[in-house]
Amino acid sequence: MNIREAKLEDAAAIAFVHVDSSQTTYRDLLPNDHLNKFSYKKRANNWKNSLNVSTKAQTNYFIYVAENPMGEIVGFIDGGLVRGDSTYQGEIYALYILEAYQRKGIGRSLIKAIALRLSQSRLTSIMVWVLAGNPAVQFYQALDAQRIGQKLIKTRGIECTKIAYGWNDIQVLLTE
């Protein structure tokens, strides 16, 4: 599996992974009519905008992708400065891998890549928000994250709980 920084032309492939992986991940956690509204086209446009930021020289925002041996993008991660008030400096915004490629060590490798990049930007701690009930909780626990908080959010009429996990010392992720 090849891990590399994302390029401008990756927007559509990242959007494909984002929509498909979200639909399989949240099928038992969020209503179907919400999941069916996810659009490849809208997501691709959003990722185009994000890639425009991440590929600029002076930025604290990064996107990495994982490619299979055929050069197809099967997972991605993005992260940067923490959003909102927090004692943590950095944040993983999204991490998604296609279902067929999960549990093969790709998540671990993507986290390591972004942690290295954020630590090079002098960020010393990092956190992530995860939907309650998502098995990804066990993934973060396996990577020695500490549970640091939770919040109730409402998006498009759907109420759900998000749990925050954090690493006080980003270096822990570099040795994982």
Ligand X SMILES: CC(C)(COP(=O)(O)OP(=O)(O)OC[C@H]1O[C@@H](n2cnc3c(N)ncnc32)[C@H](O)[C@@H]1OP(=O)(O)O)[C@@H](O)C(=O)NCCC(=O)NCCS
Residues lying near ligand X in the complex (CB under 6 A) are found at 21, 25, 95-97, 102-108, 128, 130, 134-136, 138-139, 142
Instruction: Identify which of residues 25 and 54 has a Cβ nearer to ligand X in the complex.
Output: 25
DSSP for 112-131, written as a single string: HHHHHHHHHTT---EEEEEE
Q: Note whether 66 and 2 are within 8 A (CB).
A: yes
Instruction: Identify which of residues 55 and 162 has a Cβ nearer to ligand X in the complex.
Output: 162
Q: How far is the CB of 56 from ligand X (least distance, A)?
A: 25
∠ at Cα 40 (36, 42), nearest 5°?
Answer: 100
**Whole-angstrom distance, CA of residue 94 vs CA of residue 46:** 13
Q: How far is the CB of 57 from ligand X (least distance, A)?
A: 29
Q: Note whether 98 and 19 are within 8 A (CB).
A: no
**Whole-angstrom distance, CA of residue 139 vs CA of residue 145:** 9
Q: How far is the CB of 54 from ligand X (least distance, A)?
A: 19
Other Cβ atoms less than 10 A from the Cβ of 168: the count is 15
Instruction: Identify which of residues 61 and 101 has a Cβ nearer to ligand X in the complex.
Output: 101
Instruction: Identify which of residues 55 and 134 has a Cβ nearer to ligand X in the complex.
Output: 134
The residue number whose beta carbon is nearest to ligand X equals 107
Q: How far is the CB of 139 from ligand X (least distance, A)?
A: 4
